[in-house]
Amino acid sequence: MNQYVVGVDVGGTTVKMALVQSEANSQSPNSGQAMRQASSHRIVRSATIDTRPQDPGVETARRIAAAVKELITAASITRIDGVGVGCPGLVNNVDGSIVVSANLPGFRNLPLGALLEKDLGVRVALQNDANAAALGEYQFGVSARGCQNMVLLTLGTGVGGGVICNGKLLVGADNAAGELGHVKVDFSEAAALCGCGRKGCVEAYAGMEGIERTARTILAQTPSAALSSDTLSTKLITQAASDGDAMAKAILHRVGQYLGRAIANFIDIFNPEEVILAGGASRATEFFLPGIRQSMQELCSFAATRDRVSIEASAIPDDINVLGAAAVFLNR
């Protein structure tokens, strides 16, 4: 039996939506059982709208509901089973409200779930966007198939993450566990400033700005024929590395070393079977890996737990957020 679920990923500039067809995989929220993994899914149709972060949250909720209705109509689907939403910030996944979201000031104490349920007439489930991405990888990702203990890192503008332990999403007392991007990887005086206001977070080195800053530092010492410090992006650096440019490879190796410092901590704390890299920068995984493994070799406490971990790029990097939002509903 198939279910039709709309996954909604609320970003700082864009709200992405997808109508997802999936095998039935409903789970009682109080069952205490591990989540079950779906064997197949299909994105039937997708859509986007501007977030307009300065709008009142109630207005944004209305616009999201209208866009979901249009999506369903355009796909010629008569009914959906529910809606899952991933949103940045502190999310109360019990009552379906957004407590606070740094880049969405209108979302403070917003009962987003209730607003969408009233407008759409179906059940709605909410979760933090990074936790949602972990659910999406666990439920739909090829690499995670059969894995019960997994760490997901999303590498984009910032660095987020989520943790699956014994087949369950790790959420913590306030549904705020898994702030993996703010694990400290540099304690020196020269540690880079992170967007959170602290220094030395892995996000400050493996987020978009951090990768570009590392690139400028290395290129200032040794120029590259393939890269210019005036026009840098993770995509361009990765392409140059793929074309064999030594400086591009050195940049991504350095970033990998910082990622490896964080991953070494995650291995010691969570004892995962898999560490999966997602987001746009995950396309550079093969160039991150030498640096990652170097740091793991130096910093992991136990060879046995270090060597059993598989580190891979997500096979669904472009769709993981909307699929994760759908998985939030499927595993509500």
DSSP labels, 150-214: EEEEEESSSEEEEEEETTEE---TTS----GGG-B---STTPPBPTTS-BSBTHHHHSHHHHHHH
From CA 132, how far away is CA 139, in angstroms rounded?
10
Kindly report the backbone phi and psi dihedral angles of residue 277, in degrees, each rounded to the nearest multiple of 5, phi listed first.
-100, 130
The reply to whether 2-140+319-330 and 150-313 are identical in fold is yes
Q: What angle do CA 87, 93, 98 make, to 5 degrees?
A: 45
| pLDDT for residue 36 | 55
Architecture (CATH level 2) of domain 150-313: 2-Layer Sandwich (3.30)
| pLDDT for residue 39 | 55
pLDDT averaged over 10-residue windows placed end to end, the chain, 332 residues: 93 94 57 56 95 94 98 94 95 95 91 97 96 94 88 92 94 90 95 92 95 95 89 94 96 98 98 95 97 98 97 92 95 88
Kindly report the backbone phi and psi dihedral angles of residue 26, in degrees, each rounded to the nearest multiple of 5, phi listed first.
-75, 140
| pLDDT for residue 75 | 95
pTM of the model: 0.88
| pLDDT for residue 34 | 63
Kindly report the backbone phi and psi dihedral angles of residue 270, in degrees, each rounded to the nearest multiple of 5, phi listed first.
-105, -15
| pLDDT for residue 128 | 94
Architecture (CATH level 2) of domain 2-140+319-330: 2-Layer Sandwich (3.30)
3-state secondary structure of 35: coil
Write down the domain spans for the chain: 2-140+319-330, 150-313
| pLDDT for residue 125 | 98
